[in-house]
Amino acid sequence: MKKFFQQAERNFISGALVLLPLIVFFVIMQKIWSFFQNYGEKAAHLLRLDDILGTAARDVVGGFFLIVLIYFSGYLMRLAFLKKFTSWIDNQLMIFLPGYEKNKKIAEEKLNAKVKKINTDVPILLKYGDYWQPALLKEESDQEKALVFIPAVPFSDRGQLYIVNTNLIKRLPHTSIEDFQASLKSFGKGILDFN
């Protein structure tokens, strides 16, 4: 009987941990949707769409406003200030909403699976004085010049671009982009095994 109560307690706690982020997400989405419905209703009345579509006009116009806002937010994300601001909000949500980080990663994986980018970058080592710097070859010209991206470890999407002579490049033909990026995330562990 004691085992049954312990199992029931674990199930209740696990269930609460799963449902809490979902409930918070749906409450936030409900607030956002009601905000856009409110302005959708005003715009539909102004455009006389409510005469044609009735009460569905507020949903249609509100949904249109939401889609337009999401689309233009994508352009705004290219600005460095907004990237920092959204990163700060992201960090705050991770602190105050349990399960947010896990749900965000799942959503990002699903989006990345739908929008598969073909990565044509080639992992290389770049001669930098007496040292070799892990980098990615972006382009190569006929004039023995190359465009090289040096990632800012542990991030594989931030760093510096350089134009260098191709004789400073050592290719890593047996290294996949995925292995290279995984090594960067772990601060270079495994790079010595690349060839």
CATH number, residue 148: 2.30.30
What are the pLDDT digits (tens) for 40-66? Answer: 888 888 888 878 888 888 888 888 988
Reading across the β-sheet that carries 122-128, which strands appear in turn? 159-165, 145-151, 131-140, 122-128, 169-171
Show the domain range for 79.
2-114
Exposure of 89 by Cβ count < 10 A (0-12 exposed, 13-18 middle, 19+ buried)? exposed
Whether residues 107 and 128 fall in one domain:
no
Whether residues 39 and 108 fall in one domain:
yes
- Per the structure, how many domains does the chain have? 2
Whether residues 90 and 184 fall in one domain:
no
Which residues fall within 8 angstroms of residue 85, CB to CB, at 6 or more apart?
A: none
Distances (CA, A) of 99 to 17, 39, 85, 93: 7, 32, 21, 10
- Whole-structure pTM value: 0.38
Q: Is the pLDDT of residue 19 over 70?
A: yes
Whether residues 109 and 127 fall in one domain:
no
Whether residues 145 and 166 fall in one domain:
yes
- Under 8 Å between Cβ of 61 and 46: no
Whether residues 12 and 108 fall in one domain:
yes
